[in-house]
A and B are shown apart, each in its own frame.
Chain A
Amino acid sequence: MTILRTTLTAVLLALLAFAIFGPITNMLIWSVAETWYFPAKLPQSYGFSFWERVFRPQGNAMESLWSSVLIALFTVLASLAVAIPAGLALGRGSLPWRTFFLLLFLLPQAFPSIAVHMNIARIFYGLGLNGTYGGVVLVHTIQGLVFSVWIATAAFAAVDHELEEAAANMGASPFTVFRTVTLPLALPGLMASAIFVFLISLDEFTGTYFVGVPDITTMPLLLFTASMEGNYQIASITALILLVPSVGFMLFIERFLKSDVLAKVGS
C-alpha cells in the first residue's frame, strides 16, 4: 500500500515536472537550433548564429531590448513618484474613506484591460502620444499602479511608529523623520514594489501593442512578430531573455518581500 502510494506520488510529480519544464526545454532547444526541419525530433545542427543576430549592436533586437529596459526604468520612476506619496497617505496618514481609496486602485484588475487599452490608444492618438515612449510609459504605469501603491502602503504601514516618535522627540523635523527613519525602514518594501513594476513593464504586451505602434517595439512585441513570421529561433531567444528575470524574481521574491510587509498588503 505504501509502496503503491509512493509510486503514484512519484509518477504524478514526474508528470508535473514534464508539464512545467517540457515547454521550457523545447524553447531552450529552439534557441540553439541552427536547422530543425520536419519530421526530425531534434535539430539537425546546433549553433549560436541566431544569438549573434539578436545581439548584433545595430540589430532591431538590441534596439527593442534597450527600448524595453528604458521604458521599464521610466515606468518604475513614474510609479514610485505617485506610489510613495500615496503609500504614505494610505499607510501612515489620516485619510478619509481609506478603504474606498485602496479598492479604487484595485479597479483596473476587475475589468478586462484590453477594451480600456484600445481606448487609451484612441485618446493618445488625439494627443499625439501614440508611438512615443511617454505614451507607453504611462500605459505601463497604470498597469502596475495597484501593485506599486498597495506594496508601498504595506511598506509604510509596517514601519514602527515608536522609532518615528523617538526621532521627533529628539527634535527632528517631520521631513527629517521621514528622510532618516521612515524612508530607510520602508526601503526594502519599496524596492520590492520597484522590481515588481519593472517586471510588469518588461513583460507588458497588450498596452504596447495598441499604444506603441508603429514606432516602439519592445521585447514582447519583437517576440510576437518573430513568432508569427515563423522565426522560432529569434522568438525563443527573446523568450529566454524575458524568462530569466521572471524566474529569478519568482525564486527570490521572499527575499525582497519580507513577511511583515506581505502580511500588511491590502489591509
Chain B
Amino acid sequence: MITRKASLFLIAPAIILLGCLFLYPLGYSLLWAFRDEEFGGWGLQNFAKAFALYSNDVLFTLIIVTLSTAIIGVLSVAIGGYLTLGENRVALVVLRWLYRWPLFIPFVVAAQLMRTFLAKNGMMNNIIVSTGLMEPLQAASYLDWRGIVITFVWKQTPFVALLVAGAMASLDRSTIEAARNLGASRLRILFEIVVPQVATTLMVGLILSYVVMMSVLSVPLMINAQTPTMITVDMAWRINAYSDYGVANALGFISYAMTAVIAWVYLRQGVREGGKPA
C-alpha cells in the first residue's frame, strides 16, 4: 500500500508540470488581457480595441461554433439512436464500421481534405453536377463559413456519437422493450426514453467539442481566413503581425467567456433538474 505522503510525492511531478505549463500561462493570459503594455497600467483598453476591430468575428465565431455543436448533437443522436434501436442487421454493421473514420484524423488534415473537396471545382460539386442535379454554372465554393461548419461537424461527430452510442448501449433494455411492446414508435422511444437517459453524456461530449472547436486555428486559417473569420485567426494575426499580446489576450479572454457561458447554462440546467451534473 502506498502511504499518503508517498502518494503526494508520486503525483507531484505531474502537478508541477501542469502548474508551470498550464495554470501559469492561463493566469498570465487572464491577467495580461487587462494590461496596457504601451503606456503601462491596467484597464479595459485591450477589450475596447478588440471589440472595435473584431466584434463581427466574435459574433461569427459564436454562431459557427454553436451551429456546429447543434448539428453534431443531432447527428450523434441519430447515429447512436439507430445503433441502439435499428433492426436492419446489415445497416447496423455498415453504420458501426462507417461512422468512426474521422475520429482521430487531425483538424489540419480534415481542413486539407475539405479544402479540395468543397472547392468550386472540388469533388463534391463535380459529383453533384455529374448526377445532373445541378448545372455546372451553379457550382459554388463552400470554402466560407459553411466550409468551417462542415469540417467541424465531419471531424467531431464521430467523437460525440461514440460517447452517445456507448451510453445508449449500456442502458437497461427492459424499458425500451416494454415501450415497444406497448406499440410506441421507434422515434418516440428514442426521444422519450433513450435520449433523456443519455442526456448527461451527450452534453459532456458536446461541451468538450465546443471547447475544442473554439480553439482550433488550422481549420479557419485553411478554409476561410478572410473577414469575417474566427477569433483564433485574429489572435494569431495580432501576435504574428503586431506582437500585440494585449488584444490577443483580450480575444482569448472572450473565448474563455464564451465557453464559460455554455458551461454555466449546462450546470444551471443540472441544478434545475435536481440532478448532479456529470
Tell me the A residues contacting B by CB distance below 8 Å: 6, 9-10, 13, 16-27, 29-30, 38-39, 41, 81-83, 85-86, 88-90, 92-96, 101, 104-105, 107-123, 138-139, 141-142, 145, 149, 199, 202-203, 205-206, 209-210, 220, 223-224, 227-228, 232, 235-236, 239, 242-243, 246-247, 249-250
Contact = CB atoms under 8 A, between A and B. Distances in A.
A13 B91 CA distance: 8
Interface string B217-229: 1100110000000
A110 B211 contact: yes
A122 B245 contact: yes
Given A93-B10, A95-B8, A220-B218, A23 B154 contact: yes
B3 interface: yes
B252 A114 contact: yes
Give me the 9 closest cross-chain CB pairs, A-B, nearest first.
A115-B252, A93-B7, A203-B106, A112-B215, A23-B113, A86-B14, A93-B2, A85-B10, A89-B10
Interface residues of B, number: 79
B98 interface: yes
A233 B191 CA distance: 46
A82 B100 contact: no
Contacts of B126: 41
A26 B14 contact: no
Which of A9, A21, A101 has the most B CB atoms < 10 Å from its CB? A9
B104 A206 contact: no
B54 interface: no
A118 B30 CA distance: 12
Contacts of A89: 2, 6-8, 10-11
B242 interface: no
Given A82-B13, A88-B10, 5 more contacts: A21-B101, A95-B8, A96-B4, A209-B217, A232-B115
Interface stretch (B66-74, B116-124, B176-184): B116-124
Contacts of B52: none
B255 interface: yes
B99 interface: yes
B25 interface: yes
B114 interface: yes
Interface in B211-253: 211, 214-218, 221-222, 232, 235-236, 239, 245, 248-249, 251-253
B14 A145 contact: yes
B89 to A, nearest CB: 11
Contacts, number: 244
B148 to A, nearest CB: 14
Nearest to B122: A26
Given A93-B2, A220-B218, A26 B116 contact: yes
Contacts of B222: 224, 227-228
A259 B120 CA distance: 45
Contacts of A247: 101, 104-105
22 contacts: A13-B91, A22-B117, A23-B116, A24-B101, A27-B112, A41-B126, A89-B6, A96-B4, A110-B259, A111-B211, A112-B211, A115-B251, A116-B29, A119-B25, A119-B245, A120-B25, A203-B107, A205-B107, A235-B112, A239-B108, A243-B105, A246-B105
B171 interface: no
A75 B99 CA distance: 30
A24 B7 CA distance: 47
A29 B113 CA distance: 11
Contacts of A117: 25
B104 A249 contact: yes
B14 A22 contact: no
A123 B32 CA distance: 12
Interface stretch (B16-24, B39-47, B192-200, B269-277): B16-24
Contacts of B211: 109-112
Nearest to B107: A205
B249 A93 contact: no
Given A95-B8, A122-B245, A6 B252 contact: no
A16 B98 contact: yes
Contacts of A81: 13
Given A209-B236, A224-B222, A105 B117 contact: no
B208 to A, nearest CB: 6
